[in-house]
Structures are given as structure tokens and as C-alpha cells.
Amino acid sequence: MFPIHILLGDMNHTKGGLVIFTANSHPSSRELGKRIAERLGVELGKVQVYQEANRETRVQIQESVRGKDVFVIQTVSKDVNTTIMEMLIMVYACRTSCARSITGVLPYFPYSKQCKMRKRGSIVSKLIASMMCKAGLTHLITMDLHQKEIQGFFNIPVDNLRASPFLLQYIQEEIPDYRNAVIVAKSPSSAKRAQSFAERLRLGIAVIHGEAQDAESDQVDGRHSPPTVKTTGAIHPSMEIPLLIPKEKPPITVVGDVGGRIAIIVDDIIDDVDSFVAAAETLKERGAYKIFVMATHGILSSDAPRFIEESAIDEVVVTNTIPHELQKLQCPKIKTVDISMILSEAIRRIHNGESMSYLFRNIGVDD
């Protein structure tokens, strides 16, 4: 990973012709855009984004973007579908206003969990990617995609930045006895992320196995539906297709020692917190005396703040890729790490035509 403090060096040195818009009509969602513009030493572009009485989205750009590099910052609000439409309409407005380039800055890519085929379903994240490209997007900056393969849904350059340097720094600076910690994966599917954190902090790792799995981990390719009616003579009796043995979840076990240790659960998204609460209870039973949850994207929908407040979790640390000020008021356990620095640096480098490789130093294929 890269040392975070170095990024501040030439932050304010950008060429002319840079315009930054925030595409969100919700005031709390514009906070990240203001932080980025402040770090770059520019003013946010003048634009009006609002909803008509009939709920249609209206975008009015109030300054010239002809021949300029436009960066559209969009954070996902509670109404995710409105968020997408605001982004698409603003990108298209910039395209028809003859902007030289249009870069979307979506720290959290919406519908990223719907990136695999389920039976009779669809790969919605590919649809969103196609819509953004069709609207006129020429580049995308995002962070910690739920699946890195989503980058392949776009026919434009995609920079998938990482929040882990900021979360690692938080662990080192805000958890005084972190050397007595163990990094925990709440399911085998998140073991690679946990291993990445553990190796960089020189800590041990534990994996919880046997908890209820996410729906997306079940049969996801849509090719397992048997024919409803057997056609006579269609399949020879000696050529009967063998059926896959159904999965049986084993009893909950913790692979690794957490007794008398600080447990730090890491993941990419915290939305429905039931699985995190269950994992915290399991770790408490196994002897962990303090439990942290760390993730990049804190969606924290529905009653998540209340469940966290009532749980064995001591602290939830997320970044500001998604606004969650209301959730923080409801639950003091929720802490925020600011990632506007790396987004600002990415914008500066793209605008100035500089290499982005510095932002991906020490990041392996599995990170």
C-alpha cells in the first residue's frame, strides 16, 4: 500500500479546464463533492439537480463545459434509482454540451451485488454499466467494487481504487493494542480480504464457517433448472444426468484462535447487519474481548444502527463513500474514515494526464 501522507504533495496543481459537478439533489450526499473540490483548490461547478412534481429528474448546467474535463461526483443516497437517473442525465447533459471528457466518480457502484446471473434473473450491474457508457461517460473512478470482474462490463477505462490503506491506518492509529488483534472473515468468501489485512498488519487470521450464506453464493448461473416435463424418448435411461448433491451447512465453527484477543471483522459492504451481529456473538462466545467491524461501504439500511447499538460489536468503521450522518446520530458506535484524499488525487492525475499506477502500488491480483 502507499503512504497516505505523500498524496498531499501537488494536490492543488491542476491544469485549466477542470470542472467538478456533484450530481446529487440530496444535501448530505454533496458533502463528499465539497471535500474533493476543496482539496483540489477549485469551486464546485454550478448546476441545479432537482425533482419535478411528477418525480422526474431535472438537471440544468449553469456554466460552460465546452472543451473541458468534467468530473461528475455521485454518492448513493437512500433512493438509489433516483441517484442513477441523476448521474445519467447529468452525464448526457455534459455530453450534449460538448465537454471534452466526462469522468464519473462513483465511490460506491450501485447494484454491484447483482453482478452474477441467478435463475431467470439478470446481471443488473452490467445493465447499469451499459447505460452509463451510452449516456456519454468516458472514464469511471470507483472504489472497492463488490466483484472486480464488474470492470469488464464497461467499454471505457475503470479505476477501481482501494480504501484499505485508510482502514489499515485507522487500525494502527486508533486501536492502541491492535498488535493483540486477529483479523476475522465472517465467511469463507471474505477470507481473501481478511488475509490481505492480516498480512499487512502482521496479524493472525480467523474464519467463521457455517453461518447462513448469502443468496448470491447459491446456484447463480441460471443453468440448473430441470425440464418441467420429461419428453418420452428424449433421454436414454442409461444416460440419466446426475444431480448435484445439495449443500448442507455445517455447525458454526471458528477456524483460528480469538480467545483473549481483539477481533476485527473486515468486509467490503455493510448493509443488512444480521450476519455481522451473529458473527460478533460467535466471537464473543469464543473469548474475543473487543470486536470491531470495518468495511468500505456503509449502506446501513433499515434498522441497522439499532441492531449495531444493541449488539456485541464495539465499533463499526466505514468510509464516507456513502453518506451516513443520520445513522451516526442513531448509533455512536459508527465511525467514519474520510477517503476524499485518494479520490482527489485520482481526479488530479487523470486531468493532468499523469499515471495512475502510484495509487495501485503494492496491490496484488487478490486484493
pTM of the model: 0.87
The predicted pLDDT at position 309 comes to 96
The predicted pLDDT at position 29 comes to 74
Burial readout 308-334 (b: 16 or more C-beta within 10 A, e: otherwise): beebbbbbbbbbbbbbbeebbebbebb
Q: What share of the chain in percent tops pLDDT 70?
A: 87
For residue 232, the SS3 value is coil
Nearest one of 91, 273, 260, 250 to 177, comparing CA atoms: 260
pLDDT tens-place string over residues 268-279: 999 989 999 999
Given a cut of 50, whether residue 6 has pLDDT beyond it is no
**What SS3 string covers 234-255?**
CCCHHHCCCCCCCCCCCCCEEE
> Higher model confidence: residue 233 or residue 169?
169
For residue 168, the SS3 value is helix
CA distances from 74 to 46, 108, 247 (A): 15, 9, 40
Given a cut of 80, whether residue 211 has pLDDT beyond it is no
Outline where DSSP puts E strands in 210-333.
253-255, 262-270, 290-298, 315-319
Q: Given pLDDT bands bounded at 50, 70 and 90, which one contains residue 78? A: confident
Q: What is the dihedral of CA 151, 154, 157, 163, to 10 degrees?
A: -30
The predicted pLDDT at position 1 comes to 56
Where is mean pLDDT largest: 27-41, 234-248, 321-335?
A: 321-335
Given a cut of 70, whether residue 327 has pLDDT beyond it is yes
Given a cut of 90, whether residue 218 has pLDDT beyond it is no
Residue with cell string 492509529: 173
Copy the grid coordinates of residue 358.
502510484
The predicted pLDDT at position 27 comes to 76
CB 175, CB 292: distance < 8 Å? yes
> Higher model confidence: residue 103 or residue 222?
103
pLDDT tens-place string over residues 65-74: 999 999 999 9
Residue with cell string 479546464: 17
The predicted pLDDT at position 287 comes to 95
Nearest one of 253, 256, 247, 265 to 211, comparing CA atoms: 253
- The domains located in the chain, with CATH, are 4-162+340-360 (3.40.50.2020), 165-210+251-337 (3.40.50.2020)
Residue with cell string 453461518: 211
Given a cut of 80, whether residue 238 has pLDDT beyond it is no
Residue with cell string 503494492: 362
CA quadruple 2, 4, 9, 14: dihedral sign:
positive
For residue 349, the SS3 value is helix
CA quadruple 73, 158, 213, 226: dihedral sign:
positive
Q: How many residues does the chain have?
A: 367
Q: Given pLDDT bands bounded at 50, 70 and 90, which one contains residue 30? A: confident
Rounded to an integer, what distance in angstroms lies between the CA atom of residue 171 and that of residue 192? 18
CA distances from 142 to 19, 74, 98, 150 (A): 18, 10, 24, 11
CA quadruple 356, 361, 366, 367: dihedral sign:
negative
Question: What distance lies between CA 115 and its chain's CA centroid?
Answer: 13
Residue range 46-53: average pLDDT? 92
